[in-house]
Amino acid sequence: MSSARELFWTHSAYAVIGHNAQRPFPKLTYRGLKASGKKAFAVDPSGGEVEGDATFASLDALPQAVDAAVLELPKEEVLPWLDKLAAAGITRAWLHMKTDSPEVIAKAEEHGMELQYGTCAVMYVTPGPSYHSIHKVIMKLTGGF
């Protein structure tokens, strides 16, 4: 039986949201989604490119609707982005580990969102051996995967 965290990755189109001017864009998540055949759109208000693809400044600028969003932002930027997701009709979100807070969880519940948090997205989207696969094994053994 798949966990809610595993089911999060079964959708076909994702917005991967980062802010490169504040911290490096989540290239591993973006790359992993694309490698698995998913549509992935890089959303970065600071502009630029990710993996050779132009970024989108906002959710409104995306060329198509997405099923879910991955937020790998500085912790202080997460709360306003939940409002942006809700306004765009996105009800499934993944928060990068250590960016959740009681306020963020309450805001997601207020918006009726399915929120995944507390662990790293990369261990779900990148196959093969890496330090993320070690994390994956530990999480599976402890029941947190």
Report yes or no: 96 and 122 within 8 Å, Cβ to Cβ: no
The whole domain housing 117 covers 4-141
CATH of the domain at 34: 3.40.50.720
pLDDT tens profile 73-115:
999 999 999 999 999 999 999 999 899 999 999 999 999 999 9
- Strand partners of residue 94: 70, 116
pLDDT band at 145 (very low <50, low <70, confident <90, very high): very low
Which has the higher per-residue pLDDT, 67 or 119?
67
The predicted structure's pLDDT at residue 128: 59
Per residue in 129-142, pLDDT (tens digit) is 555 555 555 555 56
Q: pLDDT, tens digit, for every residue of 27-50?
A: 999 999 999 999 999 999 999 999
Which of 118, 119, 122 shows the shortest CA–CA distance to 133?
Answer: 122
Tell me the pTM: 0.88
- Number of domains the chain is built from: 1
In 5-138, DSSP assigns E strands to 13-17, 39-43, 49-50, 53-54, 68-71, 92-95, 114-116
What band does 55 get if pLDDT is binned at 50, 70 and 90?
A: very high
Given a cut of 70, is residue 144 above it in pLDDT?
no
